[in-house]
Amino acid sequence: MIKKQLKDIITDIDSGMRPKGGVSTTSGTIPSLGAEHLSDGGNFHFDNIKYITESFFKSMNKGKIEKNNILLVKDGATTGKICFVDESFPYGVAAINEHLFRIIPDKSKIFPKYLFWYLFSQSGNRQIMNDFRGATVGGISRNIIEIVEVPLTNKKSIKEQIKDQI
């Protein structure tokens, strides 16, 4: 088994944004997810969704949610919470706000779900939180891609391990 830095097995890490003046439950048609929408168990909860306009969404060059993305709370009281966007994600089009990171796994180097489960694990989350800075409203930075090391084995072995668990 080898370990790779997170930066070597992802294609990007970015964050979202909100329009000037903020967002509300009636300010548009595109869901804008924040830290409050990630649960402790690695799932989403969609209470009190805020929305952005379609024109604002189109102007965004980062933070657009896609299947196989990993979303990670980057600041505040819930720093380190993490969720995986799979086929059950209920929105065809959605974005993240500035309190989340969007991690895009490189599918040629790692199974996205494996990366999620590792980052969700105690060991992975501990590495993420090693970057935590600040007292009042602390958080983590993009430096996690340099800090976090992910244990890897070959893809065939991972597939066999997953198959055995199903």
Report pLDDT for 12.
98
CA distances from 113 to 3, 22, 75 (A): 17, 32, 23
* Exposed/middle/buried for residue 78 (C-beta within 10 Å: 0-12, 13-18, 19+): middle
> Which CATH number do you get for residue 66?
3.90.220.20
Range of the domain at 48: 2-165
The 10s digit of each residue's pLDDT in 25-37 is 777 899 999 999 9
Query: Strand, helix or coil at 34?
Result: coil
pTM over 0.85: yes
Report pLDDT for 60.
96
pLDDT-derived band at 155, boundaries 50, 70, 90: low
Q: Does pLDDT of 70 surpass 80? A: yes
Report pLDDT for 24.
72
**Domains of the chain: total:** 1
Report pLDDT for 157.
60
Q: Mean pLDDT in the chain?
A: 91
CB 105 within 8 A of CB 99: no
